[in-house]
Chains A and B, each alone.
Chain A
């Protein structure tokens, strides 16, 4: 039994309460057990179990051929995953931190994303690139970055960012079985947040979900911004305003249908994301809503994002990250008198 599994508490319903890190660990273990072609590798993923312990116990349980440490070489890790996938394996690689994944960026953009297209579908790369992403943990420089737009901008990649242990579990299992490469962004600050996980439940990549009903405005969020959206909705409710919350869950491909329906039902929208707002995922979401829901809108779509600055140092992080007040201010500005 791994440390993470010990930490998870069994409850009567067959659903267990566990942290997101434990849920990810369980998903990896379940897929390693289900399919001999699955291999997990990266820096410190073996004996240490990863710096966030997401791979804890996997080497012990499945052996060094299935979960192994590599040299410190991000390009090499992703590039070897390309070759392995070409030769029939299903590699899951761990990038240690978002801001240390950039040496692999060429491999991701030039090869991982393009191989299927380049070979007219003859070579598909079922690779999962797991990246701990975003801030909120007080990390020093290069340990926090919100890099999702780079990946979402790249055709050929599927980009997933769960916000709950349940989705983390289900979406990671789905990602591992997915025929195409998936960049799986794990919100660092939610690694230790606990929630129920039903290991028989599945989640579909590419589907957003309304996670809180509301009638006055729609908050669109993903990953680290989901808890902020929920908190803001609670605070607004106390003031008599009913906010709906949609969790994107998959950034690319983007679920227009769910978002359109949600926004049209309320006529107002605020997009929340912690990455710098300029040329960002939030910009894309806002633009799509404006294009597709214009005649339903009572007010321009607002974005609440990080500033257009390099990620803030730990002691200034709270100035940088979107918070409930900023969200509520944006909601207040949505043309309520019209």
Chain B
């Protein structure tokens, strides 16, 4: 393919605009109203999870929560386009994607609650541990896909990252490796305009990150990240391409982080509320709801049912996080090596001694 064919559109793909009106497109097709209603249900649940986690942080039940409020369409689409056997390589911000992939909310939040570094078995859900070092997981995704090809398995790997992560060297190495070895990876950048406090303009001088793809020899596309229909269409085609041997794709979603980076961050220091308000008008839930209502594909009964389902998940989440689980100190030593070492055995014995003494009251 010539590099021109690899280039994304100049304007992000959009199938449903902010007013909930459909745009026609000759390449990308919106999913059926039924499928989109299902997507809307996931959006409602996702929004509720974000709200609940925000509250749990305030109540001191979660140590930290990088919210994906406003980015829910990306969270839903990234998982919806995958088959069961495919793999997801998420970041710290992608907890909602984890839950949509079937991981119990409390297990998905083990990391952010501070109980353990990863609360689920990656093989069970085909979800890698959430990566906090930026862009490093993109290379793991590439290696995973390479192994799948060597083993003759049809696995597609979805690798998530933010716009800030694209400045890291590992982003480049991952793109290049995947393109050179023609691997079934979809790189999905959620460009939410900020890396903590640093605006996208200080991250990259490029107008679009998707254009970078051509330089590596893979197709790129940019898409409205608040438009679930467009995301499903663009990511769906990228996944199909990967599965049919067409190699990797870079997809950049233009979206916005509506809340602070985490609870530890004060976003009023680096952006004005006007900007945030402007993005609120493009909310992914509102527009899809308008669209579906306009098509009579969503009625009051369904909305009530979705809200009830979201309530239920929120309650489960709240209950699980309000339960105090005593962390097991032995875990500190148990998993460092497949077979423990004499040094670790000795250190665990000494900690056990300390713990026993403190139970005896001998140690304050």
- Chain A interface residues toward B at CB < 8 A: 39, 65, 70-71, 73, 75-76, 79-89, 91, 103, 106-107, 110-111, 114-124, 155-156, 158, 179-180, 206, 253-257
> Please, how many angstroms separate the alpha-carbon atoms of A123 and B335 in the complex?
10
Stretch among B145-153, B199-207, B299-307, B352-360 lining the A interface: B145-153
Q: A71-B180, A123-B123 are in contact. Are A87 and B337 (CB under 8 A)?
A: no
Interface stretch (choices B168-176, B232-240, B246-254): B168-176
Contact status of A84 and B337, CB under 8 A, knowing A75-B139, A76-B176, A117-B117: no
Given A117-B335, A122-B122, A180-B337, residue A39 in contact with residue B150 (CB < 8 A): yes
B169 touches A87 (CB 8 A): no
Task: Check: B331 CB closer than 8 A to any chain A CB.
Answer: yes
Closest to B346 in A: A256
Contact B147 A253 (CB under 8 A): no
A65 nearest in chain B by CB position: B150
- Assess the B338–A253 pair: CB atoms within 8 A: no
Most chain B C-beta atoms within 10 Å of own C-beta, residue among A79, A107, A115, A179: A79
Stretch at the interface among B48-56, B67-75, B128-136, B277-285: B128-136
With CB as the reference atom, state the residue of chain B lying closest to A70: B177
The residues of B that contact A106 with a CB separation of less than 8 Å are 133, 136, 170
Most B CB contacts (10 A, CB to CB) among A73, A123, A255 go to A73
Chain A to chain B: the 4 pairs with minimum beta-carbon distance, closest first: A83-B143, A79-B139, A80-B143, A76-B173
25 pairs from A and B in contact (CB 8 Å cutoff): A76-B173, A79-B174, A83-B139, A83-B147, A84-B144, A87-B155, A103-B169, A107-B136, A114-B117, A115-B129, A116-B335, A116-B337, A118-B117, A119-B118, A119-B129, A122-B123, A156-B336, A179-B338, A179-B339, A180-B338, A206-B341, A253-B341, A253-B342, A255-B342, A257-B342
Interface string of B136-165 (1 = CB under 8 A from A): 101111111111101100010100000000
Tell which of B148, B173, B338, B343 has the most Cβ of chain A within 10 Å: B173
Residue of B with least CB distance to A66 = B150
Residues of B within 8 A of A103 (CB): 169
A107 to B338: give the CA distance in the assembly, Å. 20
Q: How far is the CA of A206 from the CA of B141 in the complex (A)?
A: 32
* Chain A, residue nearest B142 (CB): A80
On whether A111 and B140 interact (CB within 8 A), knowing A76-B176, A87-B151, the answer reads yes
Check if B142 sits within 8 Å of A83, measured CB to CB: yes
Provided the pairs A115-B129, A120-B331, A180-B337 are in contact, do residues A73 and B173 lie with their beta carbons within 8 angstroms?
yes
B91-109 to A contact mask, C-beta < 8 Å, 1/0: 0000000000000000000
With a cutoff of 8 Å between Cβ atoms, the chain A residues found around residue B34 in the complex are none
> How many Å lie between the Cα of A112 and that of B155 in the bound state?
23
Determine whether the beta carbon of B151 is less than 8 Å from that of A88: yes
CA–CA, A106 and B170, complex, Å: 10
Is B244 among interface residues, defined by CB-CB distance under 8 A?
no
Q: Which residue of B lies closest to A39 (CB)?
A: B150
**Residues in A neighbouring B176, C-beta threshold 8 A:** 71, 73, 76
- Distance in angstroms between the alpha carbons of A155 and B336 in the assembled complex: 7
Q: What are the residues of chain A within 8 A of B344 when measuring CB–CB?
A: 253
Distance to closest chain A CB from B100 (angstroms):
20
Q: Does B116 contact A (CB under 8 A)?
A: yes
- CA separation between A76 and B342, bound complex, in Å? 33
Residues on B with beta carbons closer than 8 Å to the beta carbon of A115: 129
Would you call A88 and B147 a contact (CB within 8 A)?
A: yes
B24 within 8 A of A: no
Q: Which residues of A contact B180 (CB under 8 A)?
A: 71
A83 close to B173 (CB less than 8 A): no
B121 within 8 A of A: yes
Is B151 a contact partner of A82 (Cβ separation < 8 A)? Answer: no
CA distance A283 to B296 in the complex (A): 74
Residue on B nearest A68 in the bound complex, by CB: B181
Residues of B within 8 A of A257 (CB): 342
Q: A334 → chain B, closest Cβ, in Å?
A: 27
Nearest B residue to A288 via CB reads B343
B334 at the interface (CB under 8 A from A): yes
A110 and B133 in contact, given A80-B177, A86-B122 (Cβ under 8 angstroms): yes
Q: How far is the CB of B161 from chain A (nearest CB, A)?
A: 13
- Most chain B Cβ neighbours within 10 Å, of A65, A88, A110: A88
Interface string of B308-339 (1 = CB under 8 A from A): 00000000000000000000000100111111
* Complex: A279 Cα to B277 Cα, angstroms: 54
Whether A82 contacts B139 by the Cβ 8 Å rule is: yes
Give chain A residues whose Cβ lies under 8 Å from the Cβ of B142: 76, 79-80, 83
Q: Are A80 and B140 in contact (CB under 8 A)?
A: yes
A75 touches B173 (CB 8 A): yes
Interface contact A86-B336, CB-CB below 8 Å: no
Q: In the assembled complex, which residues on chain B have CB atoms less than 8 Å from the CB atom of A70? A: 177
Q: Give complex CA distance A116, B173 in Å.
A: 24
Contact of B170 among A39, A76, A83 (CB under 8 A): A76
Which of chain B's residues has its CB closest to A256's CB?
B342
Q: B110 to nearest A CB, angstroms?
A: 10
Looking at the assembled complex, report how far the CB atom of B177 sits from the nearest CB atom of chain A, in whole angstroms. Answer: 5
Whole-angstrom distance between the alpha carbons of A330 and B257 in the complex?
Answer: 63
Given A71-B173, A75-B170, 13 more pairs with CB closer than 8 A = A76-B177, A79-B136, A79-B143, A80-B139, A86-B143, A107-B136, A111-B133, A117-B117, A118-B129, A119-B121, A120-B331, A180-B337, A255-B342
Asked whether A76 lies within 8 Å of B123 as measured between CB atoms, the reply is no
Distance between A236 CB and nearest chain B CB, rounded to angstroms: 31
CB distance from B292 to the nearest CB of A (A): 38
Bound-state Cα–Cα, A125 to B151, Å = 17
- Given A70-B177, A121-B335, are A87 and B148 neighbors across the interface (CB < 8 Å)? yes
User: In the complex where A88-B147, A179-B338 touch, is A119 in contact with B122 (Cβ < 8 A)?
Assistant: yes
Report how far A79 CA is from B128 CA in the complex, Å: 13
